[in-house]
Structure 1
Amino acid sequence: MHDTTPPSQTLAPATAPEAPVESPWRRLMAEFAESRLALAGLGILLVVVVIALTAPWLSPQNPYDLAQLDVMDSKLEPGSPSATGGTYWLGTDDQGRDMLSGIFYGLRISLAVGAASTVLAVAIGVVFGLAAAYFGGWVDAVIMRIVDIQLSFPAILVALVLMATLGQGVGKIILALVTVQWAYYARTVRSSALVERQKEYVEAARVLALPQWRVVFRHLLPNCLPPLIVVATVQVAHAITLEATLSFLGLGLPITEPSLGLLISNGFQYLLSGKYWISFYPGVALLATIMAINLVADQMRDVLNPRLKR
């Protein structure tokens, strides 16, 4: 018996279905999730951010409202009852300020100052770094000499001089932090942009006579973002530390708007008398915040630059 099936109707071998293309965002999140320390840091950071954003509703007391402070409740131990029928879970400071409320509002100020100063410093540093790398010549020489002079002085010294000159206040401390931070971003962006400027896609954009601003901001800048993100994350923690240091020294925020650094400073003189909670709990909150940011930054460095993975 002969096979009557035409050759043209012979079934072709089935091909395997193509695997779905994983998005870069999912790939980055999967690599980030490989580190338990990074996830723990991210969890702590999210809790801190939520507390800072909801401080007016979570806090039992407004520590900035002098009418709510009672000197008779000063330096009470953790767990002591308040005159209003509540409980001072973390005790009070020498002004009768509820430490838990002070920490919540202190986190609010620390994160706001750190984020605002970083955003402004990044904007300034990116503009100067891209200009130095793209134009080169005397523009590059002038900008980088200014950066070298800026980085030759310790950041805390420059911030101390500025705050002693400008006085206290949130806006003034943000200005001081921007002044000491922008040079880091300018140098980071310049080094990345110098590498990208030699690549073919930049030469092609120049051949097509595209506007210079488009070449710089649409082609160079996006490829400079990975190292910039890592540096910015680290510098947020640095800015928070600087603000706490300045406030601890009495040059940051006024006593009526205490940050974590000022809360620590208020209780420093009472440590030897056993009233540890005035400085201890704000110090723990500050340490946890900085540690969480550094853990996230360390993992982001590994994710955005696979060559540095351990």
Structure 2
Amino acid sequence: MKRSQMTGRFIRNFAKSKIALVGLLLLVMIIIAAVFAPWLAPQNPYDLMQLDIMDSRMPPGSVSESSGMTYILGTDEQGRDMYSAILYGLRISVIVGVSSTVLALLIGMTVGLIAGYFGGRLETVIMRIADIQLSFPSILTAMILLALFGQGTGKIIIALVASQWAYYARTTRSAALVEHKKEYIEAARLLGLSTPRILMRHLLPNCLPPLIIVAALQVAAAISLEATLSFLGLGLPVTEPSLGLLISNGFQYLYSGRYWISLFPGIALLLTIIAINLVADQLRDVLNPRLQRQ
């Protein structure tokens, strides 16, 4: 089947689910908002020169007396426009989620391919290390590493990669075990192709469908985990706030009726995770041959 035909078939199968299309549309809007946050936000919420403490904790729809700016989602305790803060926080959350997933995928995929293709003691050692890592909850692994490394975007990405790579290693190894004894791999060996070429050009493409599904789900898991860590004060510093930190900042004001400081970042986080999971769920149905209809 030609690549164009495969692409068309993939699009048709994906478009069968209206819910997935809604999730995809929402996800595209979220990505656009995250990428173009500096241009879409009416205020840079982390530029102290643009903040006015007199605008602190203003409810949604309030108008600033000093600047005349309308705060459609209200302000937080520092006078930051919540709409602008959510756009910037969403940007950091997406960067952390996608970056950690891509790095974990590359590491786990490489390790899993090697383990599944070569087998033997090497496979045993790699899989036992992965089993040990998977025996600990992801949040516990990340918390331990952040306690050692400290706060920061790069550090939390490293912590998330360390807590996620084993999922991809196991998935890749399982797929490689199924594929590496098939005729096309044997033919490639008989033709004298190098091991790296066999792994990357022949074995890896047939292991990608389950990896894509796992990666799509893990992006949502990474964003959720980062938000949890930041909410607990272990993730990002106040100078690099994500959605989790924005929720944490407003948590203490919930009982005083200033709900908007936590509510709107929470809704943004919830919609992001829902959109990713809707798309990932449909990808699972489309990429799983047993669920496809001819």
TM range (shorter): over 0.9
RMSD over aligned CA atoms reads 1.4
Q: What's the counterpart of residue 124 of structure 1? A: 107
- Counterpart among 236, 257, 268 of residue 274 in structure 1: 257
Tell me how far 1:67 sits from its aligned partner.
1.9
- Counterpart among 167, 171, 190 of residue 184 in structure 1: 167
Q: What's the counterpart of residue 230 of structure 2? A: 247
CA distance in structure 2 between the aligned counterparts of 1:208 and 1:263, rounded to whole angstroms:
58
Q: What's the counterpart of residue 262 of structure 1? A: 245
- Counterpart among 284, 300, 303 of residue 283 in structure 2: 300
Q: What's the counterpart of residue 203 of structure 1? A: 186
TM-score, normalization by structure 1: 0.92
Unaligned residue ranges in structure 2 (runs of 5+): none
Q: What's the counterpart of residue 291 of structure 1? A: 274
CA distance in structure 2 between the aligned counterparts of 1:164 and 1:298, rounded to whole angstroms:
34
- Counterpart among 170, 173, 178 of residue 156 in structure 2: 173
Post-superposition CA distance 1:280-309 (Å, at most 9, x none): 000000000000000000000000004246
Q: What's the counterpart of residue 51 of structure 2? A: 69
Tell me how far 1:97 sits from its aligned partner.
0.9
CA distance in structure 2 between the aligned counterparts of 1:299 and 1:206, rounded to whole angstroms:
36
1:10-159 matches, cutoff 5 A: 23-82=5-64, 83-159=66-142
CA distance in structure 2 between the aligned counterparts of 1:267 and 1:110, rounded to whole angstroms:
18
CA distance in structure 2 between the aligned counterparts of 1:79 and 1:279, rounded to whole angstroms:
16
Alignment CA distance shift 1:139-1:269 (3 Å): same
Structure index of larger Rg = 1
* Identical counterparts, % of pairs: 67
TM-score, normalization by structure 2: 0.97
Tell me how far 1:207 sits from its aligned partner.
1.3
- The answer to whether the aligner puts 1:227 opposite 2:214 as a matched pair is no
Tell me the number of residue pairs that the alignment of Structure 1 and Structure 2 aligns: 291
Tell me how far 1:22 sits from its aligned partner.
6.4
Query: 2:27 corresponds to which letter in structure 1?
Result: L
CA distance in structure 2 between the aligned counterparts of 1:74 and 1:162, rounded to whole angstroms:
35
For 1:264, what is the secondary structure of its paired residue?
Answer: helix
Post-superposition CA distance 1:207-231 (Å, at most 9, x none): 1121111111111000001000000
Post-superposition CA distance 1:182-203 (Å, at most 9, x none): 1000000000010001100001
Post-superposition CA distance 1:133-155 (Å, at most 9, x none): 11110110010000000000000
Query: 2:167 corresponds to which letter in structure 1?
Result: Y
